[in-house]
Structure 1
Amino acid sequence: MKLTRLIAALVLAAGFAAGAQAQMELKFGHVGGPGSLFELSAQEFAKRANEKLKGKATVVVYGSSQLGGDKELLQKLKLGTVDFALPSTVMSSESDLFGVFEMPYLVKDRDHMKRIEKEVFWSKLAPAAEAKGLRILAVWENGYRHITNNKQPIKTPQDLQGIKLRVPEGKWRVKMFQTYGANPSPMKLSEVFVALQTGVMDGQENPFTQIFSSKFQEVQKYLSLTGHVYTPAYITTGKKRWEKLPADVRKVLEETAKETQAYVYETAARLDGELLDKMKAAGMQVNEADKDAFVKASKPVYDEFGKEVKGAKELIDRSLALAKK
């Protein structure tokens, strides 16, 4: 009788274990709203990965900061309570080397970004993230950033004097806009709409996809095409959590993350044109900016980054040299 019970218990336990493996949910948190590039990218990755995983695990996407803001998500990755996130600017708060992507007008286009990724990112930046307990699976995109505000068109850095500007949680973006004369304040993306609506902030800066999906066109009058920074985004997991996943699951997830990059870049390029037209149609006043004036005003930021962060000047010089290929 005891033997029968033992066998029954073992069978039941094996059944639970198999069920648990089949139903393993991998949580993917990000801050993008519905229709954002983050949401489209994460959902495409989940769809492709889930088809290949065939029930061994299921990637489930939680957008709109449901699982926390950028800094909270990074902490949850390290704790293993969230499996994937899509940080962008905030990575410079983990490792100052990521501030290279905060340098104004560093990345010329997506082909240039691909060369930086291949020749600089994986050898220099990915290991810096790993040292902080984070593993980056692939480089995706947040996009080219532009300024919106309710005061006036921004044509030169002088037009930013005194403007209260929301920026993401990364110190080099703060330093950049301080250099231009603005009054920048880091703030979670989920809090920005109300801050703009109530006048707590005069403006903000983001790629078109974040501006439009966050509905900032409803509470902002001016859109200035500064294109001041190109921000990559990184599909990231916690190192400890990653190492606990079965090897075959890890292989599928990493390969899928990398192959999804082509979809991300194609979608981002398409949205750049579509969303600008939509924001004009929504009544935003759009103006071109004097990029030469912004480039000239950016020199102190490059100088400070190069002096303050060990290895930064090498990253900048190598990245800029790759623009000429």
Structure 2
Amino acid sequence: MPGQNAYNNKPALEHSMKITKTAFASTFLAVSLTPALGMAQTELQFGHVGNPGSLFDVSATEFAERANERLGDDYEVEVYGSSQLGGDESMMQKLKLGQVTFSLPSTVMSSVVDEFGLFEMPYLIKDREHMKRVIDEVLEPDLYPLVEEEGYKILAVWENGFRQITNNERPINTPEDLDGLKLRTPKGTWRVRMFEEYGANPSPMALSEVFTALQTGTMDGQENPLVQIYSQKFQEVQDYLSMTNHVYTPAYVVVGKDHWESLPEDVRDVLEETAQEVQDFVYETAAKQDEELLGEMEAAGMEINEADQQAFIDASDPIYKRFDEEVEGGGDLIDRVLELGEEE
């Protein structure tokens, strides 16, 4: 009846409480029996910014499948792509807080440790075999400890890839063709400086925002590896693809140090070993995608040109000099990486 309070409706209230108690007991029983039912008890979230079909997506999925086969019933890796857990900077914060277990940052690492700006230097890494030597002789002994000082740990180095330029104004053959071009870049200081030196008007922007910026003309162009360009569907809103190969960007499988050390040792061993094993798969997949996607871009109507890479190399000296001046030991790091590129 209207105006009837909870006290006057006591039988209904008692019935509701019984239902609630039953539901609580059922939930408790389900959680308690989870290991016995073979279901994952603890979810280890792997966040990245790549769209479905991107190298990030394929790599993280392969890692999760391999790791989950070995982890048993108590832990399971779940992958969340397309910036579902936030952009790169947001996920780096969540790693420290233990809200995300793994992330796959690339350029943003130079915002965490200055020395990682090394991998924003143009035309530094020749190929993937060169990169493997750099991991063994520069990254692991010298840069990994700097990351740990900031509260992170790198489990393995995968790939973002060799970067190319797309835009809606004109083919890019030399740095002069970039003059005044509104170009989206990742949030890395040195990438912005590099394109400023080349004459462009670069603006850092989260990857999830780029398609709309290109579609509306807020940005004239952007630069990314082919697989990111294709999986983000930039070919639908860009006319020109210029093969500049201006930067090779690694991607790092990163965890928050405190959260990582809270996991059982056997779980950590499985995850770290698996992350490193997947590196060869990542490189093989990336090389295959690079070959296949050019045809896809052309079929989508993009005009493709090979840029004059030597002209870009000649225009890059000021970037190397500034890195040497502003980052302690920067010149030495560059020299060591270049020497490793001369080895067969």
Indicate whether the TM-score tops 0.5. Answer: yes
Residue 205 of structure 1 aligns with which residue?
223
Residue 88 of structure 1 aligns with which residue?
106
Residues 261-313 of structure 1 show CA distances to partners (whole Å, capped at 9, x for unaligned) of 00000000000011111001100000010000000100000000011000111
Residue 334 of structure 2 aligns with which residue?
316
For 1:237 and 1:103, locate their aligned partners in 2 and report how far apart those are by CA, in whole Å: 25
Question: TM-score of the superposition, structure 2-length normalised?
Answer: 0.89
For 1:127 and 1:207, locate their aligned partners in 2 and report how far apart those are by CA, in whole Å: 28
Paired residues of 1:56 and 1:249 also in contact (CA < 8 A): no
For 2:88 and 2:33, locate their aligned partners in 1 and report how far apart those are by CA, in whole Å: 35
For 2:194 and 2:305, locate their aligned partners in 1 and report how far apart those are by CA, in whole Å: 21
Residue 238 of structure 1 aligns with which residue?
256
> Residue 144 of structure 1 aligns to a residue in which SS?
strand
1:33 and 2:51 are equivalent in the alignment: yes
Residue 105 of structure 1 aligns with which residue?
123
For 2:62 and 2:40, locate their aligned partners in 1 and report how far apart those are by CA, in whole Å: 21
Question: TM-score of the superposition, structure 1-length normalised?
Answer: 0.94
Residue 141 of structure 1 aligns with which residue?
159
Residue 158 of structure 1 aligns with which residue?
176
For 1:172 and 1:15, locate their aligned partners in 2 and report how far apart those are by CA, in whole Å: 51
Residue 46 of structure 1 aligns with which residue?
64
Bigger radius of gyration, 1 or 2?
2
Decide which of 174, 195, 200 is 1:177's aligned counterpart: 195
Deviation, 1:131, is 1.1
Q: How many residues align?
A: 315
Structure 2: gaps (5+ residues): 1-27
Deviation, 1:15, is 4.0
Paired residues of 1:225 and 1:289 also in contact (CA < 8 A): yes
What code does the residue aligned with 1:240 have?
D
Paired residues of 1:49 and 1:256 also in contact (CA < 8 A): yes
What code does the residue aligned with 1:78 have?
K
Deviation, 1:56, is 2.4
> Residue 287 of structure 2 aligns to a residue in which SS?
helix
Paired residues of 2:159 and 2:249 also in contact (CA < 8 A): yes
Residue 294 of structure 2 aligns with which residue?
276
Structure 1: gaps (5+ residues): 1-10
For 2:143 and 2:184, locate their aligned partners in 1 and report how far apart those are by CA, in whole Å: 26
What code does the residue aligned with 1:306 have?
D
What code does the residue aligned with 1:139 have?
V
Sequence identity of aligned pairs in percent?
Answer: 64
Decide which of 265, 270, 277 is 1:259's aligned counterpart: 277
